[in-house]
Amino acid sequence: DAGVTQSPTHLIKTRGQQVTLRCSPKSGHDTVSWYQQALGQGPQFIFQYYEEEERQRGNFPDRFSGHQFPNYSSELNVNALLLGDSALYLCASSLGLAGANYNEQFFGPGTRLTVL
């Protein structure tokens, strides 16, 4: 049973560029959440996708956008990259909206983004 997978594992971009990160949820899961984890910090919620719609969003600017496909996989897009966007981007999947009723979220290994 494949867990949550993310690609790429590492990425180096320069300021102003755009990046797309990809996530495939754990088999049987239909909900995907994205988190940003800066060094020495806990993960910060970006947004959550369920039934191909953004259901919840954290305090992130519109430069951060996403998409969920019919097969439940998801993409995170970041435009106009800033140095401060350098972080580990984590994808987590769950069955149903995560957090409700103690639904467990399973995290992928993350994509480490470096913005120069």
The binding site for another protein (CB under 8 A) comprises 33, 35, 40-45, 47-48, 56-59, 90, 97-102, 104-110
Q: Work out how close the CB of 24 gets to another protein at its nearest, in angstroms, rounded to a whole number.
A: 14
For 48, the 3-state DSSP assignment is strand
Q: Work out how close the CB of 93 gets to another protein at its nearest, in angstroms, rounded to a whole number.
A: 12
Tell me whether residue 14 or residue 103 sits nearer to another protein (CB atom).
103
Contact residues for 10 (Cβ-Cβ < 8 A; gap 6+): 111, 112, 114
Tell me whether residue 18 or residue 41 sits nearer to another protein (CB atom).
41
Tell me whether residue 19 or residue 43 sits nearer to another protein (CB atom).
43
Q: Is 108 exposed, middle or buried (0-12, 13-18, 19+ CB in 10 A)?
A: buried
How many C-alpha atoms does 54 have within 13 Å on its Cβ side? Answer: 14
Q: Work out how close the CB of 47 gets to another protein at its nearest, in angstroms, rounded to a whole number.
A: 7
